[in-house]
Amino acid sequence: VGEGSVIFPNTFITGKTKIGKNVVIEMGAQIIDSIVEDNARVLAYSILEGAYLRTKAAAGPFARLRPGADIGPEAKIGNFVEIKKSVLDRGVKVSHLSYVGDAFIGEETNIGCGFITCNYDGVQKHITKIGKNCFIGSDSHTVAPVEIGNDCFVASSSTITKNMPDGSFAISRGQQ
C-alpha cells in the first residue's frame, strides 16, 4: 500500500494486490489479486478481482471488475457496472447499470446507462471494439463480433449488429 492512501473500515485486500500512492478505498470494498495505481478511487462496496485500475481512475460504488478488466487512466466505472476481460482506454466513462465483457473501448468514449455487450452466442465468446470519442446512448447493445469506429454516435435503445465506420451514426428501433 502506497504512501498517503486511505483505506476505510470493512475492506478486504487479499492475494497479490498492489495499492499505489494517494489511493482512496471506501468501506466494504474487496480487492483480490488486483493493481490499483496512484490517485485512483475504489468506491464503497466495489469488487476488484484480477483487475487493473490505472492512475486517477474510479470504480463504484457497487462496481464489479472481473478478471482481465483493465481500466485506463482517468476512466470512470460507475455504480452497478460490471467489467470482464475488457480494456478501457483513458477517460472512458461507463457510469451506471452496464455490462462490458470481452471488449476494447477507445479513449474518451461515453457509454450510456444500461449498455450491454452481448458477447456470448451460447458456444463461444466474441469481441466488441468501440473506437475513441464515441457516444453510446442509454439502453443500447452490441452483438459481438462487432466494431464501432472512432467518433461514432449510437442512438439510445439501439442494438448494433453491423460494423460502423468512423464518424457514423446508428439507430435501430422497432416502431411504436
Residues with a catalytic annotation lie at 96
Query: What is the side-by-side strand order in the sheet with 70-71?
Result: 18-19, 35-36, 52-53, 70-71, 87-88, 103-105, 128-130, 146-148
* CB 25, CB 31: distance < 8 Å: yes
CA within 13 Å, CB half, 46: 31
Q: How far is CA 58 from CA 32, 92, 154, in A?
A: 17, 11, 25
